[in-house]
Amino acid sequence: MPVRYIYAALLFLMAVVLLPLPGTGAAEREVAVLNVEGPIVPVVERYIIRGISEAEETGAEACIITLNTPGGLYHTTQGIVQEILNAEVPVVVYVSPAGGWAGSAGTFITIAAHVAAMAPGSRIGAAHPVAGEGQELSPTQAEKITQDAAAWARSIAESRGRNGAKAALAVTESRSYTDKEALKINLIDLRSPNLETLLKDIDGREIILNSGKRIILDTEQANLRRSEMTASEKFLHTVSDPNVAYILLSLGMLGLVVELFHPGLIFPGVTGGISLLVALYSLGTLDASWSGVLLMLLGFALFVAELFVTSFGLLTLGGIIALTAGSLMLFSQGSPMPQVSFGVIAGVVVSISAFMVFALQAIIKAQRKRATTGLESFIGAKGEALTDLNPEGTVLFQGERWKAVAEDGVIEAGAEVTVNRVEGLRLYVRKRQVSAGNEG
């Protein structure tokens, strides 16, 4: 066999051995993608921790967190940042989509990432810390918290080689920066219009993990593996929205009021009880002001009292005032969570007030209605004269014979009569007038 054929065969065998098999090599490289949209609450922390852990276990090239948040709870943010700083996989935080926001808590999360990126038109900042549970802080306490948060932001930024001074200003002066400004002042690493471009932009970057391990990102040809929230996590995240929690609390208490107003309906009571329990969980998670919650409960207690006490609307008025005040206090200016929309508050208060006014009218109408049992039910009822009433005689009334007295002259036997009043066992009647249209 000629030597050239032997060389060709050897080259062929080497190519077969060295070429990657289908499904291996570049095709196997994956980048995990987590999506955080909305307030930073405990369920988001659990989701991010789970996602980073899965990325570590599967050997992903990186874990990308797409972030769009107005902020959230400070203690929850601390847990997320700690997880990112100690991750054994490169973590990339990408503030997106265009117009997205890494506000407040989102600022800390973004600057903690190994790679921080923003979409065009997004913004970052306004990270001034505020108190939880609606509590008011003294100037000294507020200053201590602010300085501590500023030092933390500066420490995180500097550990990633970013501008610690500008990060601190986002805390102390509530500074916000556009994507271009954040890149210019070295608060982030790059701007990318979409995830595909981001994978190309970060390809080849050297990342040093907290453990000291150095990794060169190889992401350009990597597959995106999206890790979504579980059904339970999505539910808990949805009800952790301040507006949703407020509506659930209102519906829960209203359902119980309806059940008390119409005992035996069951559905309003069951639905109201479930909504109330879910709302209390959400409000506890969101560090709501319990003063606001108690005021709302007082408002509904006054509504219930109106059903059993005749106050001519005073209890309902007090309930409306307590409900409105509690709604406004639920997430005060000292709360780390976004406020409940004034439109939502107005809609709930007006709807519940309208319901209570309707219920109050029904109660007053029932109280004023003539009794339909006993002697009172005789008034206006009809009977038949068995004898002439001149003025006394006998009438047949409800199948019984009664002594009767005519109050409008002589009434002949056989005529229909109407009862005017009752005294003892004697009926006082008048002759029943029959309209022409009813004759025949």
What is the per-residue pLDDT across 290-335, written as a single tens digit (0 to 9) for each? Answer: 888 899 999 988 888 877 777 777 888 898 899 999 888 887 655 5
Q: Are residues 89 and 9 in the same domain?
A: yes
The pLDDT-based confidence of 134 (bands split at 50, 70, 90) is: very low
Domain enclosing residue 181, as ranges = 3-230
Q: What is the pLDDT of residues 87-110, one digit of tens each?
A: 999 999 999 998 899 988 999 999
How many domains are there within the chain? 3
| 85, 344, 412 from 203: Cα distances, Å | 21, 46, 112
Q: Are residues 332 and 392 in the same domain?
A: no
Q: Are residues 194 and 259 in the same domain?
A: no
* pTM: predicted TM-score of the whole model, two decimal places: 0.70
**Arithmetic mean of pLDDT, 163-173:** 92
Phi and psi torsions of 353, nearest 5° = -65, -40
Looking at 33-47, 108-122, 353-367, which range is the least confident one? 353-367
pLDDT over threshold 90, residue 269: no
Please check whether residue 235 lies inside any domain of the structure: no
CATH classification of the domain holding 224: 3.90.226.10
Please check whether residue 168 lies inside any domain of the structure: yes
Please check whether residue 236 lies inside any domain of the structure: no
C-beta contacts of 426-434 below 8 A and 24+ residues apart: 426/402, 427/378, 427/383, 427/395, 427/397, 427/402, 427/403, 428/404, 429/383, 429/389, 429/395, 429/404, 429/405, 430/406, 431/406, 432/382
Q: Are residues 378 and 347 in the same domain?
A: no
Considering the chain, what is the average pLDDT of its residues? 84
Please check whether residue 346 lies inside any domain of the structure: yes
Query: Which domain-ending residue is among 368, 397, 430?
Result: 368
**Arithmetic mean of pLDDT, 379-392:** 89
Q: Are residues 359 and 422 in the same domain?
A: no
Please check whether residue 336 lies inside any domain of the structure: yes
Q: Are residues 223 and 257 in the same domain?
A: no
**Arithmetic mean of pLDDT, 190-203:** 95
Q: Are residues 285 and 337 in the same domain?
A: yes
Looking at 230-239, 285-294, 399-408, which range is the least confident one? 285-294
Q: What is the pLDDT of residues 12-58, one digit of tens each?
A: 555 544 444 444 444 478 999 999 998 899 999 999 999 999 999 99
Give the residue with greater pLDDT, 135 vs 326.
326
Query: Which domain-ending residue is among 353, 368, 383?
Result: 368
Give the residue with greater pLDDT, 337 vs 157.
157
* Dist CA 166 CA 87 (whole Å): 25
Q: Are residues 52 and 186 in the same domain?
A: yes
Query: Which domain-ending residue is among 368, 384, 418?
Result: 368
* pLDDT number for residue 329: 85
Q: Are residues 349 and 429 in the same domain?
A: no
* Dist CA 39 CA 56 (whole Å): 25
Q: Which residue has the tokens 């001034």?
A: 128
pLDDT over threshold 50, residue 343: yes
The segment with the largest mean pLDDT, out of 15-24, 178-187, 396-405, is 178-187
Q: Are residues 279 and 360 in the same domain?
A: yes
List, in order, residues 6 or more apart from 412 with CB less than 8 Å away. Answer: 385, 388
Q: Are residues 282 and 174 in the same domain?
A: no
Q: Are residues 265 and 347 in the same domain?
A: yes
CATH classification of the domain holding 389: 2.40.50.140
